[in-house]
Amino acid sequence: MRLLVVGSGGREHALAWKIARSPEVSKLYAAPGNPGIARVAECAPIKAEALDDLTAFAARERIDLAVVGPELPLTLGLADRLADRGVAVFGPSRAAAELEGSKVFAKELMAKYGVPTARFAVFAEAVEARAYVRTLGAPLVVKADGLAGGKGALVCRSLAEADEAIRAMLEGKVFGRAGERVVIEECLEGEEVSFFALTDGEQALPLAFAQDHKPVFDGDQGPNTGGMGAYSPVPTLGERLADELLETVVTPTLRAMAAEGRPYRGLLYVGLMLTRDGPRVLEFNCRFGDPETQPLMLRLDGDLVPLLAAVARGEGLPPRLHWRPEAAVTVVLASGGYPGEYATGKPIAGLEAAEELPGVVIFHAGTALREGRLVTAGGRVLGVSALGADLEAAVETAYEAASRISFEGMHYRRDIGQRALRRPPGR
């Protein structure tokens, strides 16, 4: 098979790394890719949102299966365009990707079909929004309706913070059109987890649990980011919870999307809060999570390509997936200033020394080659990932690898996985 991976981040590197190991793959392309992906695939300099160029490339190179990593090209309709040219696509249609592209659509769908989520209201006017926050009370969450690069959900601990979030989005237009409407919802308390399921539109096959770390600083302090690290498995979460989530969240959502004329095919990402009253959906994403994909690809036992192809072609799914018994962890190395403003072009040193450690794989996210030297090119630069006999071993190896890498301004959380290590297994 001839495959194309669309995207240039750590998620796409992890997918390409796993896909390249499949005996079914005769040729692997990535667009645009990155220097890490270039080690396992031929990179084409085509941006992920350049739909015309990607469609023409897929047709010209006789691509059998396209795997779309980021959300933006999916919400723009890349899957539809490729399908129209006869290319099988792993990723939902534009209509189905609205589940991530619009938080208003997702929340209203959940309310209509009884999928458990937080209480909420939708506003386009700041005066009405401010009145509602005084009814709801702090803490609460203000979310931009559209895509905001992982920065559109603001947890507000006071009414003053909520007022400022409303001002920034609805009046200051900090997220442009993505913030023309906001969702204001109650702030749920509990443990936040990521749940993934492959689906052909009817069946759903759960992946292993992974836990992301969104805030930039240790102890979940500071502003939210695209994700500063992740680990899998999550010792406190198991098959019982997976079965519950399939029954109460995933299957009802798939049925709801079909009833709305938007059948969903691809990877359904469910961001959840495990509250005292049961699981509640925080958000849906229409693609693999980043950085959760990195530890999941390390742990997935077997060939990923037949699974992606079965979903893309609607050919049915196996009864279960097989996972390596080891644990995997990813620690994100970020540019100085991230998630705010940051400089790029900083030389990166130490990758070879880090990769000498057994079980370590370095996934590139924001990197580039300039005059033959690897430099930073984004906020999240590298995902230092490690497989270990257990979570403690994986964490130790990942941090040893991270300590061998350096670039100006580099920072990373020092507590990835510690929440799990501090407590015994639960459900």
**pLDDT given for residue 424 in this prediction:** 57
Tens digit of pLDDT for each residue in 150-207?
778 899 999 999 999 999 999 999 999 999 999 999 999 998 888 999 999 888 999 9
Q: Which two tokens stand for residue 360?
A: 């370590």
| Mean predicted confidence (pLDDT) in 14-20 | 98
User: How far apart, in Å, are the Cα atoms of 219 and each of 151, 227, 346, 349?
Assistant: 19, 14, 28, 28
Q: How far, rounded to the nearest angstrom, does the alpha carbon of residue 347 sit from its chain's CA centroid? A: 27
For residue 211, the cross-strand partners are 231
**By C-alpha distance, which of 161, 140, 142 is closest to 153?**
142
**pLDDT given for residue 24 in this prediction:** 97
Tens digit of pLDDT for each residue in 297-334?
999 999 999 999 999 998 889 988 999 999 999 999 99
Q: Which two tokens stand for residue 187?
A: 């702030």
Tens digit of pLDDT for each residue in 357-375?
999 999 999 999 999 999 9
Tens digit of pLDDT for each residue in 100-128?
999 999 999 999 999 999 999 999 999 99
**pLDDT given for residue 426 in this prediction:** 44
Instruction: Find the helix or strand (DSSP H, E) in which 387 lies.
Output: strand 380-388
| Cα 358 to Cα 338: distance, rounded to the nearest angstrom | 29
Domains, the chain, with CATH or none: 2-93 (3.40.50.20), 125-180 (3.30.1490.20), 191-313 (3.30.470.20), 327-421 (3.90.600.10)
How buried is residue 261: exposed, middle or buried, by Cβ count under 10 Å (0-12/13-18/19+)? exposed
* pTM across the whole model: 0.93
Non-local CB neighbours of 237 within 8 Å, separated by 6+ positions: 193, 209, 426, 427
Residue 427: pLDDT over 80: no
Q: Which two tokens stand for residue 194?
A: 């990521």
| Mean predicted confidence (pLDDT) in 269-295 | 94
| Mean predicted confidence (pLDDT) in 58-81 | 97
| Cα 166 to Cα 181: distance, rounded to the nearest angstrom | 10
Residue 272: pLDDT over 70: yes
Instruction: Collapse the DSSP code of 113 into the 3-class scheme (helix H, G, I; strand E, B; otherwise coil) and give the result.
Output: helix
Non-local CB neighbours of 222 within 8 Å, separated by 6+ positions: 215, 216
User: How far apart, in Å, are the Cα atoms of 118 and each of 122, 139, 163?
Assistant: 13, 13, 20
